[in-house]
Structure 1
């Protein structure tokens, strides 16, 4: 699995930097609010604008990629992230930061949906192994984001934004040099393709499950720093531990769980465990050790679920993988957009409420997941949980030529 062409490693590195954006702002949420005079619900819009634009933009990623090719789409996405992140750090109002964070989300949408499909197509081995590589990049990025946010944020809340912009410039050059030309092939993807893909019951079930559990996920990310009330460094270290456990469980634990109990049971168990952690955090919100331990432990549970649910998306619907990824991401990021703002509003009434509501949403996610168990059974029905070749020899040669 680790013997991959340079194309895969180059895109994976860019994925690490792209996913830094999710947790980067965690350590600086409170400082941004203090410096710019913003309430928790206003600061939480940094997540909401980012996720809302990213989700909507997912509907056009296939349309763009099929017309200009995957490489140009990746480069375009990285360029927009560089501009959005850099200008967000240069603002003097919360509205300005939120606005350019939305621009950042547009770039992330173009990059992420195309990157997942590129890694799955170019990687050697099975679909499952390619997705594990992608989830490893995701986990490392999520882990590194808070660490960098805490380190640079201790200097100024602006520096984490400038740091991501600089790293994305490196990722852009790396992708430009190592990824071979990938001109568009086949018929262009219509704008309606992702929405039509959601007619498939299995894909819609997985998407709605992700929407609901993301309400718990982003409640954890966007609200926990406020009751923690620690320094930028301390918050960064807490979420760094969370991200490390997420990365480890994505790569090591998730495949083991899948082999032992299957995809559906593995996802259901991980989500119920996450709901229980959120409930405990809601009951003992005033106790910082409970929040710290709960945050870190949730990373392990989310890592298991992320790998299994991403593999399910790639295999459950009879559509192109890029279209499936875009359709799924469009639905799931709706939860990521609503949750941070809702958590901020609820938290202004009671610091316990966001965690309780998040836990309830995750429990409902399990109910939705189980309602589609007949469709998800097909994921485990494939030999060795998807050990089939990722692409034909011709496709693989077309992607990896020059690497």
Structure 2
């Protein structure tokens, strides 16, 4: 059911603004991390939970929330998700302790997971095929690409002028505008009954949280601590339960068919490890620029903007080249750019001092962004084309979920590396070098096992 002609433009604007709000939230907090850590008393390892808590609930629940939207209706799912997101943002801005903020960030992830799958469903529903839908999709892609830059700049400005709490509070007026616009301009789509794999989604979240908690706690408690060993044991049990649930459920959130061979699993595992490199880069570069090089939050935001500009440039070019050159020809250089960009930043961190120029941060940021822009479209295309036709929807949700989960899990591992190699003062260079190992693993997984897509006329995801 399409919206009336007079409301289409407003409906598209509201949906694009919603997507922009979620994308901005993944980066706006990064620049504020040093200030958050100082005021709320986070340890270096604990600070990573500000990023990880959001990623885990977002990535874990998005496997289930797409089906929830089809049961209650995508418009209702969007309204419910954005409401939760706004409430959690206000709670986070008022947080007086580290645990309170981490809980608010986790709740933000719940809201984003509920709403995000419905954005694309509603965008397709309110537009008609042809130029109208093409223009709407172009705006959507621009929001995804530009969101990181907007977040980094906004995070720097808000942190330096109004304080870090405003990187959370800013979501409230935007979210209220989205809610009002959705209520007035978006129609409800059809609903359908489907069996929800609640057990599989719950088991996957428990497994991921337990793994992240184990890696993060190991930095403070040691690898032989009973708490750490218990968390690893819980993760193993949860993974066993997950496999059992997915074998029995008619509509699993994580179909085991995706992992039946390395040819099909390789690109999925690549999508799990590659975001860990990107998230780690942004997290540790923020600490490097502010706590080692003495940059202000605004200077840090500006220093990381070239990363997003490089990403946008190659992200716009990649869809035009994919049908001609194929996924491997584009994806392998993209992944190589990620590896080299992070390794370059590791060299900068190893020699960082008071006289280090901002230019030394800008150059690897550009290379990394260009690599990222040439990576995600080819890997996603292979994942979607290799997915069985009955599991296309699950593949789309799993693809997005793995990106969030991979970032959270990777950051947990890397904070343990930072603690083991001397902390911020001595271990940043080594930790960033370890960060490069994640996209390197993705390069191997994708390069060896990704199947070349032979049909040039098939649209790419």
Pick the TM interval, shorter chain.
0.7 to 0.9
1:174 corresponds, among 154, 168, 181, to 181
2:314 aligned with 1:240: no
Following superposition of structure 1 onto structure 2, how do residues 314-393 of structure 1 map, counting pairs within 5 Å?
314-317=384-387, 318-319=389-390, 321-348=392-419, 349=422, 350-374=427-451, 377-378=452-453, 381-383=455-457, 385-386=458-459
Deviation at 1:150, TM superposition (A): 1.1
Q: 1:37-79 deviations in whole A, cap 9, x for unaligned? A: 2222211111111111112112321331121011111111111
TM-score calculated relative to the size of structure 2: 0.75
TM-score calculated relative to the size of structure 1: 0.85
> Partner residue of 2:370?
300
Unaligned runs of 5+ in 1: 391-403
> Partner residue of 2:215?
none
Q: Does structure 1 conserve the Cα–Cα contact (< 8 Å) formed by 2:311 and 2:372?
A: yes
Q: Does structure 1 conserve the Cα–Cα contact (< 8 Å) formed by 2:255 and 2:391?
A: no
Between the aligned partners of 1:122 and 1:194, the Cα distance in structure 2 is: 29
Q: 1:151-175 deviations in whole A, cap 9, x for unaligned? A: 1111211011100222122122223
Deviation at 1:125, TM superposition (A): 4.9
| RMSD of Structure 2 on Structure 1 (CA) | 2.8
> Partner residue of 1:150?
156
> Partner residue of 2:146?
140
Between the aligned partners of 1:77 and 1:207, the Cα distance in structure 2 is: 27
Between the aligned partners of 1:58 and 1:64, the Cα distance in structure 2 is: 10
Between the aligned partners of 1:47 and 1:280, the Cα distance in structure 2 is: 24
Q: Does structure 1 conserve the Cα–Cα contact (< 8 Å) formed by 2:59 and 2:402?
A: yes
- Measured at CA, do residues 117 and 299 of structure 1 come closer, stay the same or move farther in structure 2, by a change above 3 Å? farther
SS at match of 1:180: coil
Q: Which is worse superposed, 6-15 or 273-282?
A: 6-15
Deviation at 1:239, TM superposition (A): 2.8
Deviation at 1:118, TM superposition (A): 4.2
Higher relative contact order (CA 8 A, sep 6+): 1
Between the aligned partners of 1:104 and 1:170, the Cα distance in structure 2 is: 17
2:166 corresponds, among 150, 155, 159, to 159
Deviation at 1:274, TM superposition (A): 0.8
> Partner residue of 1:261?
325
Q: Which is worse superposed, 221-230 or 341-350?
A: 341-350
Q: Does structure 2 conserve the Cα–Cα contact (< 8 Å) formed by 1:131 and 1:310?
A: no
2:279 aligned with 1:218: yes
2:107 corresponds, among 89, 103, 122, to 103
Number of residue pairs the alignment of both structures matches:
381
Q: Does structure 1 conserve the Cα–Cα contact (< 8 Å) formed by 2:146 and 2:308?
A: yes
> Partner residue of 1:398?
none
> Partner residue of 1:394?
none
- Measured at CA, do residues 277 and 342 of structure 1 come closer, stay the same or move farther in structure 2, by a change above 3 Å? same
> Partner residue of 1:273?
337
Q: Which is worse superposed, 311-320 or 231-240?
A: 311-320
1:284 corresponds, among 348, 355, 376, to 348
